[in-house]
Structure 1
Amino acid sequence: MYLMMNEEDKKNIIQDLNLKIGGDINDLSNAYEIENELVVRRDQLQSSLHVANNLVPTKLSSAIIKAERNSTQINNLKNKSQTLKLKVESFLQKTEPLRDELNKRFTAINKLEQTLVYLKSFEKIEELSPQMKQCNDDEQLVLSYGELKEMCKQYKVGHRATYVREYVHYWHNILKDKLTKHYEDVLKLLKWPITTAAENSPPPKDVLIRFSNLTRYLFLIEEPEDMHVNTISEEVQEQDPCLPVRILLRPLKKRFTFHFTGSRQTARIDRPEWFLTQTLTWIKDHQGFVKNNVQPVADKLQLKNVKTVDEFNAGLISLAAERLHTVLGLYHTQGTKGELVDVDAAFAHAVDETLGFHRELVTITGKDGNSVLSVLTKAETFVRWLAVEKK
């Protein structure tokens, strides 16, 4: 079979031959050289083709032999696999009763182990409680209580969970009362509540260390979140503060109640600026101490949701909000009875003082919270406010 050569290839070959032969027709030496060169190349190509043709049958035969050998091995493996499969099925069939019996026994063992763990958890509680009763070291008591809290987190349902929760609640109350007493003793040494004049005289270092330790203990004995019930104030929508802050607020709440409720002269309902100003003063006097001595303890314990300064301020603001709500209600009552001469003027004065309180509060705390404005925006109060503004 011969391949057809196109015209362009022919032209290239002729041009190449003309260049090699030259233009002298009497000198054909170059033509003889070209002929010899082409003969050599032809012989080489023919030799290569003969060798290739001889190798093809040999390689093909070798490949067929290998394929047959592989096919035989595959069939052998299939047979072995089938034999092994039959043996396995036979073994499983023979051992099925034994395996069923073993499964039953392992199940029984697992149940016994779970029962043992269950009983040991009760035993652990029974061991902790007497130890805590005999312990006089606050640190050790808090650590033991921490173990109870961990068990409370671990056991969520069933009789055991209820049992642990009761113990946690029981010891929480005991430790809270005990540590609160110690905390209040330290607060007396710190001259709490603080007055503006006392800020220039820092408390003794050992007292601050004791205060810091007790603050940490109080944080640690907080009941688990699922046991902690939050009460929300009607006037300021805030969760109950943490235990250390609640104790810090107690003497201030007592003073607020003493001075601004009842029949005392300082509790006059036509002078809301008195309790509003006092609330601002207490916030200014105390929030720095809370920030520097209480919040760092919470941060070290990684209590990310505890913002002690905000909680402390919110506790004081809630006192003012509740009193303001009461005062505004008394305006209506005493105005009806004729005990208050100009109810509208008193109401307008209270609104002005409340707005001023809010502005000052934002300046002091750096936060624009709801504060006592929620009292003014209650439906009945807000309607009355609009009515007074129109007069």
Structure 2
Amino acid sequence: MVSSKLQQHLQEASQWMDDLSRVFNQVDLIERPMKYLQCLQHIEELSAAVQQCLMVNSVCEAIKEVDRLAALDSGLNHSSCSHLQNEFGKVLTQLHWPIISPNQSLSPAANCQDSSSQLEALVAQLLALQASDDFISQRTPPQPVQVSSSSPAVSVCLPIQIMLLPICKRFRYHFYGNRQTNSLHKPEWYLTQALIWMGSSTAFMEEKIQPVFDRAGAAISARVELCRGLVSLVQEKVAADAPRILYDDALFCHLVEEVLQFEKELRGSHSYPPRPAWTAAHPAGGRRPAEVARRGEEE
């Protein structure tokens, strides 16, 4: 009797929790544009204060207001955009991303239409954020950045960087540290795995992501961008192993042979465009990692 009543109470409480959760989500959705408008209002107030100070020739006060504007600008530029990244990650999970096996089931989810609509909206917003970040970077000198070990250090577009995060975790789990799969004698293991992921993800990138890029007006090949991120992982792995095999002729020759075979497969089966600098195996060569993907993974 008591157990039955307790079970009934738990079911009712669960329903209340679900209802309350939906209300909280709606409130959060409403609060976001409000916070955005409040931020705009604050910027306008600071700008007006600067103008007012200059009109009365109060340079010191104007400098203080400009300093506040600069602090606000810095805070916005270093925002991790965690809301967008988390929402994008949830939608990708609903669409069965990442595709880690050629035999992985891609049966559509029950709310596939809603997920596809959310995917398009989020990708468009992430591309817009990257465009604004690129514009800002053109006006300011590049700052030294600390590259996270959990995301690929390559300047692929922002949505693809976020898509690469779970793949990066798997790659580093299997091919770094004390894992049996991390063997200097078997570079073909991680090279082959990267190629498998490229092949397994091709259909998803072309059917789910590329149309979204096209409708957003982004001249980006989703498939090639993903390949670039995976090539970056291979670069970093080769660079990490190189000091330990440089003076072992057998290991070094084997690595070179496998890398050349990897490149042949990359160009042939995956139509990877020529990028002469990639075989230099230098993980920091000319790349600007995206702040959002790095910070989101570090969090």
Shift, 1:261, TM fit:
0.6
Alignment match, 1:35: none
Alignment match, 1:310: 224
Shift, 1:318, TM fit:
0.8
Counterpart CA distance in 2 for 1:255 and 1:225 is 29
Counterpart CA distance in 2 for 1:288 and 1:142 is 39
Tell me the TM-score normalised to structure 1 length.
0.48
1:161-176 correspondence runs (5 A): 166-171=71-76, 174=79, 176=81
Alignment match, 1:93: none
1:224-263 correspondence runs (5 A): 224-228=133-137, 240-263=155-178
Shift, 1:172, TM fit:
5.6
Match 2:98 to one of 193, 197, 222: 193
Counterpart CA distance in 2 for 1:363 and 1:141 is 51
Q: Would the aligned equivalents of 2:154 and 2:229 in 1 still touch at CA under 8 Å?
A: no
Please give the secondary structure, in 1, of the residue aligned with 2:124: helix
> 1:299 and 2:214 equivalent?
yes
Q: Would the aligned equivalents of 1:218 and 1:243 in 2 still touch at CA under 8 Å?
A: yes
Counterpart CA distance in 2 for 1:139 and 1:363 is 47
Match 1:326 to one of 225, 240, 246: 240
Match 2:183 to one of 244, 255, 268: 268
Q: Would the aligned equivalents of 2:198 and 2:227 in 1 still touch at CA under 8 Å?
A: yes
Output one character per residue of 1:71-95: Cα deviation in whole Å (capped at 9) or x when no partner.
xxxxxxxxxxxxxxxxxxxxxxxxx
Match 1:348 to one of 240, 244, 253: 253
User: Using a 3 Å threshold, how does the CA distance of structure 1 residues 144 and 353 change in structure 2: closer, same or farther?
Assistant: farther
Tell me the TM-score normalised to structure 2 length.
0.61
User: Using a 3 Å threshold, how does the CA distance of structure 1 residues 246 and 357 change in structure 2: closer, same or farther?
Assistant: same
Counterpart CA distance in 2 for 1:311 and 1:146 is 34
Please give the secondary structure, in 2, of the residue aligned with 1:212: helix
The aligned amino acid for 1:224 is D
Counterpart CA distance in 2 for 1:267 and 1:171 is 40
Extract unaligned runs of 5+ from structure 2. Answer: 1-26, 45-61, 148-152, 283-299
Output one character per residue of 1:339-360: Cα deviation in whole Å (capped at 9) or x when no partner.
xxxx212111111111100000
- For structure 1, which segment, 160-169 or 139-148, has the greater mean C-alpha deviation from structure 2 after superposition? 139-148
User: Using a 3 Å threshold, how does the CA distance of structure 1 residues 219 and 162 change in structure 2: closer, same or farther?
Assistant: farther
Q: Would the aligned equivalents of 1:146 and 1:221 in 2 still touch at CA under 8 Å?
A: no
Alignment match, 2:4: none
User: Using a 3 Å threshold, how does the CA distance of structure 1 residues 309 and 354 change in structure 2: closer, same or farther?
Assistant: same
Alignment match, 2:269: 364
Counterpart CA distance in 2 for 1:280 and 1:220 is 30
Counterpart CA distance in 2 for 1:283 and 1:210 is 24
Q: How many residues align?
A: 222
Higher radius of gyration, 1 or 2: 1
Q: Would the aligned equivalents of 1:354 and 1:372 in 2 still touch at CA under 8 Å?
A: no
Extract unaligned runs of 5+ from structure 1. Answer: 1-133, 152-157, 336-342, 377-391
1:49-198 correspondence runs (5 A): 136-137=29-30, 140=33, 166-171=71-76, 174=79, 176-194=81-99, 195-198=101-104
User: Using a 3 Å threshold, how does the CA distance of structure 1 residues 182 and 140 change in structure 2: closer, same or farther?
Assistant: same
User: Using a 3 Å threshold, how does the CA distance of structure 1 residues 213 and 168 change in structure 2: closer, same or farther?
Assistant: farther
User: Using a 3 Å threshold, how does the CA distance of structure 1 residues 146 and 210 change in structure 2: closer, same or farther?
Assistant: farther
Q: Would the aligned equivalents of 1:146 and 1:220 in 2 still touch at CA under 8 Å?
A: no
Q: Would the aligned equivalents of 1:273 and 1:353 in 2 still touch at CA under 8 Å?
A: yes
Give RMSD over aligned pairs.
3.7
Counterpart CA distance in 1 for 2:279 and 2:35 is 41
Match 1:214 to one of 92, 97, 122: 122
Counterpart CA distance in 2 for 1:292 and 1:147 is 38
Q: Would the aligned equivalents of 2:154 and 2:232 in 1 still touch at CA under 8 Å?
A: no
Shift, 1:207, TM fit:
1.9
Shift, 1:145, TM fit:
11
The aligned amino acid for 1:136 is L
Q: Would the aligned equivalents of 1:193 and 1:252 in 2 still touch at CA under 8 Å?
A: yes
Output one character per residue of 1:178-210: Cα deviation in whole Å (capped at 9) or x when no partner.
111112222222222113223553452322222
User: Using a 3 Å threshold, how does the CA distance of structure 1 residues 174 and 322 change in structure 2: closer, same or farther?
Assistant: closer
Shift, 1:327, TM fit:
1.7
Counterpart CA distance in 2 for 1:290 and 1:183 is 15
- For structure 1, which segment, 239-248 or 291-300, has the greater mean C-alpha deviation from structure 2 after superposition? 291-300
The aligned amino acid for 1:227 is I
Percent of residue pairs identical: 25
Output one character per residue of 1:81-121: Cα deviation in whole Å (capped at 9) or x when no partner.
xxxxxxxxxxxxxxxxxxxxxxxxxxxxxxxxxxxxxxxxx
